[in-house]
Each structure stands twice: as C-alpha cells, then as structure tokens.
Amino acid sequence: MNLRVSRRLSGAPVASLILTVLLAVSLLLLAACGQESSQSGGGSGEGSASGGETTSSGGSASGGETTTGGGGGSASGGSASSGGTGAPAGGEGSLVIYSGRNEELVGPIVETFEEESGIDVEVRYGDTAELAATILEEGENSPADVFYAQDAGALGAVSDEGLLSPLPEEDVNKVDERFRDPDGRWVGVSGRARVVAYNTEMLSEGDLPESILDFTDPEWEGRIGWAPTNGSFQAFVTALRLIEGEDAAREWLEGIEANDPRVYDNNLAILDGVASGEVEVGFVNHYYLFRKLQEEGEGFTARNYYLKNGDPGALVNVAGIGILNTAANSPEAEEFLDFMLSEEAQQYFADETFEYPLIEGVTPDAELVPLSEIEAPEINLGNLDDLQGTLDLLRETGVL
C-alpha cells in the first residue's frame, strides 16, 4: 500500500484581502473533541487536544479535526508522515486529498479505497479552515485533487471562489438535496446532528425546553456547558444568524453568557462534564454519546435530547467532498467520490463513527434517531460560509 500522509499546514500568509477574509471565514469550521479539560467563565479554551476531533484558540492541536477560535495556529493530523512535511507533490495518476477530517476517523476508509482501487493516494490531513485558505492561496497551482471538508461552510467558501468542478450527477443525486450544493459542486458524505446532552440523574427530557433559544432563561444559570471555539458550535451560531436574524442571535449569545456557562475545550469534554454532573446540559454533536456508550455501557449518565420544529438547535450538518477544477487526476478523484458514496463506505460511517449515512439503503446505528425523524431547520448548508460574521459576533458579545 502506497498511502502517504503529509501533516504540516502551510503557514504562508494569504496573498490578498479576499484571501485574508476567507481565512478568517474558514478558520472556524470544525467539530471538536479530545481531552477531558474544561474551564469556567466566558473565555475560550487554549492548548492542544488529541485523540479525536479537537479544537484550539491560538495554539496547535493534533490528532483530530480542528478549528481555531481566532488565533493563527496550525493543526496537523495524528500520524507520522511518510511523504514529507511539505505540500503533497501529487502527479498524474496519484490522487491528492486535502482532508480536514481526522486521520483516526477516516484514514481506514481511505486506505480501503486505495487497496480496492489500486490508486496511489496521498493525504494531507489538517484543519479544514486552513486547508480551505491554502487552496484559495494556491489557486491554479494547488496540488490538491479533492477537498474533503469537515463542514459544508468550508466547501461553500471554496465553491464561491469558483474553484470546484461540477460533480458527476449520478453521485450527487445519491444524496438528498438538503445535504448537497444546489449547483452540484460539493456533496455531503456523512451527517451529524446538533443536540442537547443532559445528565439523566439530574434531568429528564420533560425538564428541557422546546427550543435552544429558551436556555437563556435565568433558571439555567450555572447549569450549561458549551465550547465557543468549536467549529460545529460556530456553524450553529451562523445558522442561528441566518434563521433568526442578527439581533436574535446576539440576544441569545448574551443571554447564555449571562447564565454563566462553563466553557469547555470541545464536545467530548462537554459530554464528560454533563455525565459527571459538573453541568446539567451541554450543546454538542450527536455522535459523541454513542462512542461513550460503546466504551462505558448503558450506565453512562448522559443522553441526547433532539430539539424539534425546525429549531436552530437541531441543525444537521455534513462532512463533504468537492473536486478542484485544477485537479490533475479528475478521473481518480471522481472514483474516490463514487467510493465514498458507496454502500461500503456509508456503512463504515454508520458503524464506526456513528454518523448518519447519506445514501438510501444504508441504515444508521439502531440507537440513533433516524435522520428522517430529526426536525432540522431548512437551510442551505453552503450558506454557512459567513463564519467571519459569526466570529465578529462572538467577540462583540464577549463569548470569545
């Protein structure tokens, strides 16, 4: 097997004002988990985390899908590089993937593709945000064939700059239109839902409000955990801005902040805080719970609460794929996309990462609420690319 991994991100500055803005836009796109560390008050966590999807706000993070909450640090994948530390060399017949998804999560399925297809694959793992900015900076000179992003917003940002090619219709049409680009330039390959995790010894579902907006009630003071530097959280805030408007989003952030939430580094730390009783509820992605249940069994004292009626707190987002219009290996890139939307790969996401498969005929884990039953808000996921506005709002409200 010839799978090569390049881990170091380019630290070069963006060459123009547009690229500078888009760097900030895309710096916040990733879901995060990792160490069981937390801090109270309104600040953002800092330092590194490993072992899962991670987040940082100025340092570097390794071993996971990462986001940066306003700093300029870089993030790297979790394995040693056998292909050098610079940008992938690429070359005709060798597929180059820029992956914002953690190697621990998706490395096995990428290796399966390489073994089954016989195509030489070189993967550059890193922060989705910085990889998106790197693609923008590299322009027509980018060695990347495929951009595998942790979040639809990053794909939207790259697509908005005209850097993605139209995808084969037969692949795009495998996925519900909610989880793909209307113009067919990117498509989701796995889904995840925002949920409220709650401590089962302290609360029941009947104790929880019907909307994420209601957690601003003073009765929730000191009982909430969140991770403002987390990419999935910031994508949720972006969705909140689009759905409810800027003023409502500002009011919600100020209301939660007034309730003295405990600040965590990432989703997994929030979930651990909920289960331990450190907080009673936390805003996370759905799949962390199922990994914990697999590790610790049914006695784990946290569960997911799914909001209804199109509430912004029930946002369903995707990790997805786009093919660069400068790709030197377009046929191989299309073959990779086709594989990632195959029953084999989709079952991998269902069984191994507890995400939602996005094609018909593949069943998610039996413990998950079916995707068709999640009452998510109707929103064009590609419009979540305005994370610069979200970052500004988070700073203005004192959340970051």
3-state secondary structure 303-365: EEECCCCCCHHHCEEEEEEEEECCCCCHHHHHHHHHHHCCHHHHHHHHHHHCCECCECCCCCC
Query: What domains can be seen in the chain, in order of their start residue?
Result: 4-191+318-362 (3.40.190.10), 193-315+390-396 (3.40.190.10)
Our CA angle for 2, 50, 105, nearest 5°, is 45
- What confidence category does residue 24 fall into, taking pLDDT thresholds of 50, 70 and 90? very low
Predicted confidence (pLDDT) per residue in 286-342, tens digit:
999 998 999 999 999 999 999 999 999 999 999 999 999 999 999 999 999 999 999
Whole-number pLDDT of residue 4 = 57
Task: Tell me the three state secondary structure of residue 147.
Answer: strand
Please tell me the predicted confidence (pLDDT) of residue 54: 38
Kindly state the average pLDDT of the residues 23-31. Answer: 41
Report the candidate in 143, 124, 123, 135 with the shortest Cα–Cα distance to residue 159: 135
> How much is the pLDDT for 186?
97
Higher-confidence residue: 311 or 26?
Answer: 311
Cβ contact 57:69 at 8 Å: yes
For 8, phi and psi rounded to 5 degrees?
-85, 135
Over the stretch 154-165, which tens digit does the pLDDT of each residue have? 898 899 999 999
Taking residue 177's Cβ as centre, other Cβ atoms within 10 Å add up to: 10
pLDDT of residue 153: 85
- pLDDT for 2: 56
* pLDDT tens-place string over residues 142-200: 999 999 998 898 898 899 999 999 999 999 999 999 999 999 999 999 999 999 999 99
Element (H, E) at 199: strand 186-199
Q: If you average pLDDT over every residue of the chain, what do you get?
A: 82
Residue 34 backbone class (left: φ over 0; alpha: ψ -120 to 50; beta: rest):
left
Amino acid 76: pLDDT: 38
Structure confidence by residue, pLDDT tens digits, 93-146: 689 999 988 898 899 999 999 999 999 999 999 877 789 889 999 999 999 999
Q: Give mean pLDDT, residues 256-276.
A: 96
Q: Which of 63-72, 84-93, 368-377 has the lowest mean pLDDT?
A: 63-72
> Do the beta carbons of residue 189 and residue 106 sit within 8 Å?
no
Q: Which of 48-57, 316-325, 379-388 has the lowest mean pLDDT?
A: 48-57
Task: Specify whether the CB–CB gap between 388 and 21 falls below 8 A.
Answer: yes
Query: Is residue 90 a contact partner of residue 327, using CB atoms and an 8 Å limit?
Result: no
- Exposure string for 140-169, b = 16+ CB within 10 A, e = fewer: eebbbbbbbbbbbbbbbbbbeeebbbebee
DSSP designation for 68 = B
- Please tell me the predicted confidence (pLDDT) of residue 116: 97
Task: Identify the three-state secondary structure at position 192.
Answer: strand
Rg (CA), the chain: 20
| Of the candidates 73, 36, 25, 29, the residue with the CA atom closest to the CA atom of residue 225 | 36
Average pLDDT of 268-287? 96
pLDDT confidence bin for 89, thresholds 50/70/90: low
Q: Does residue 50 surpass a pLDDT of 70?
A: no
* Main-chain phi, psi angles of 11, to 5 degrees: -100, 5
